[in-house]
């Protein structure tokens, strides 16, 4: 932006006193002798030409970045004449011409101090040609990128279609699995009921076996008690019989002596 402002100042600033003195000293060339093509231009074309040259000089001043040290002052000053070039059409009033006259005068004043370098313009033309080649290369790269993009887009669409088909198949399989899962849950609940009933049935024999074991223990205790009682009964009975037999023997032994 600084370079562009410097170029704009160089075009828009009024000429310095020294350069103005040189301009007054040098003979001012006429419009018919030094710029023959200007006579054939209309007033609007002349303003457009000046504007284009000013914009080109501003762009070139920005591109070279202060390389305008070697400059050549323009020796030909374009002066617009209103009566000598061509017969102008009749205007309604001079008040309408004042803005155009002011614009042309301003451009002519700016052109008195415009400086250019032939090498700079050649470089600018080289830049333009390079820009054209770069534009062609950019278009080629853009075409290649678009071709690759179409290829990748086609492959992506194909892959996306395959993924969609897989998702649909997975959804169908998921629905069947969910229905099968419902059946499995029902079977699981039925098996749980059967397992619970089997456990209850298994507990019943265990309870019955426990009861049988308890009864068996009780009968063993009773049998042990009865055997002990029987043993005591037999012992006392045998002892009583032994005592009776002893008494009988003693009685039989003492009986003869008594008579």
Query: For 226-259, what is each residue's pLDDT tens digit?
Result: 888 888 888 888 888 888 888 888 777 766 555 5
The whole-number pLDDT of residue 35 equals 39
The whole-number pLDDT of residue 240 equals 86
Backbone angles phi, psi at 115, to 5 degrees: -120, 145
Measured CA to CA, the distance from residue 70 to residue 120 in angstroms comes to 10
Residue spans of beta strands (DSSP E) within the chain:
72-73, 115-116
* CA 79 to chain CA centroid, nearest Å: 63
Residues in the chain predicted with pLDDT less than 70, given as ranges, are 1-97, 102, 104-117, 254-259
Half-sphere exposure of 243 (CA within 13 A, CB side): 6
Residue spans of beta strands (DSSP E) within 121-207:
none
* CA 26 to chain CA centroid, nearest Å: 70
Measured CA to CA, the distance from residue 110 to residue 14 in angstroms comes to 7
The whole-number pLDDT of residue 162 equals 92
Q: Does residue 48 contact residue 100 with C-beta atoms inside 8 Å?
A: no
Q: What is the pLDDT of residues 184-240, one digit of tens each?
A: 888 888 888 989 888 888 888 888 888 888 988 988 898 888 888 888 888 888 888
The whole-number pLDDT of residue 244 equals 84
Q: Is 13 exposed, middle or buried (0-12, 13-18, 19+ CB in 10 A)?
A: exposed
Backbone angles phi, psi at 113, to 5 degrees: -110, 5
* CA 109 to chain CA centroid, nearest Å: 58
Identify which of 38, 47, 20 has the alpha carbon closest to the alpha carbon of residue 113: 20
Element spanning 199, H or E: helix 118-258
The model carries a pTM of: 0.27
Measured CA to CA, the distance from residue 117 to residue 70 in angstroms comes to 7
**Could you tell me which residues come within 8 angstroms of residue 43 by beta carbon, excluding any fewer than 6 positions away?**
80, 100, 104
The whole-number pLDDT of residue 163 equals 93
The whole-number pLDDT of residue 110 equals 58
């Amino acid at each position: 932006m600084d370079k562009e402002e410097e170029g704009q100042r160089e075009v828009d600033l009024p000429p310095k006193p020294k350069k103005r003195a040189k301009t007054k000293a040098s003979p001012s060339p006429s419009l018919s002798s030094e710029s023959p093509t200007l006579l054939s231009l209309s007033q609007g074309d002349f303003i457009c030409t000046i504007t284009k040259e000013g914009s080109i000089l501003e762009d070139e001043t920005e591109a070279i970045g202060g390389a305008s040290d070697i400059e050549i002052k323009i020796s030909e000053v374009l002066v617009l004449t209103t009566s000598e070039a061509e017969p102008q059409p009749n205007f309604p009033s001079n008040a309408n011409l004042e803005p155009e006259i002011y614009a042309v005068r301003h451009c002519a004043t700016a052109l008195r101090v415009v400086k250019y370098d032939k090498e700079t313009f050649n470089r600018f033309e080289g830049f333009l040609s390079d820009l054209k080649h770069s534009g062609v290369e950019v278009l080629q790269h853009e075409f290649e990128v678009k071709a690759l993009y179409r290829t990748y887009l086609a492959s992506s669409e194909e892959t996306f279609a395959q993924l969609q088909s897989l998702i649909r198949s997975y959804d169908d399989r998921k629905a069947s699995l969910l229905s099968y899962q419902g059946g499995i849950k029902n079977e699981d609940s039925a098996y749980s009921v059967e397992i619970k009933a089997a456990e209850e049935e298994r507990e019943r024999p265990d309870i019955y076996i426990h009861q049988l074991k308890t009864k068996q223990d009780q009968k063993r205790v009773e049998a042990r008690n009865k055997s002990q009682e029987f043993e005591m009964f037999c012992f006392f009975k045998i002892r009583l019989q032994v005592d009776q037999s002893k008494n009988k023997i003693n009685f039989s032994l003492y009986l003869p002596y008594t008579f």
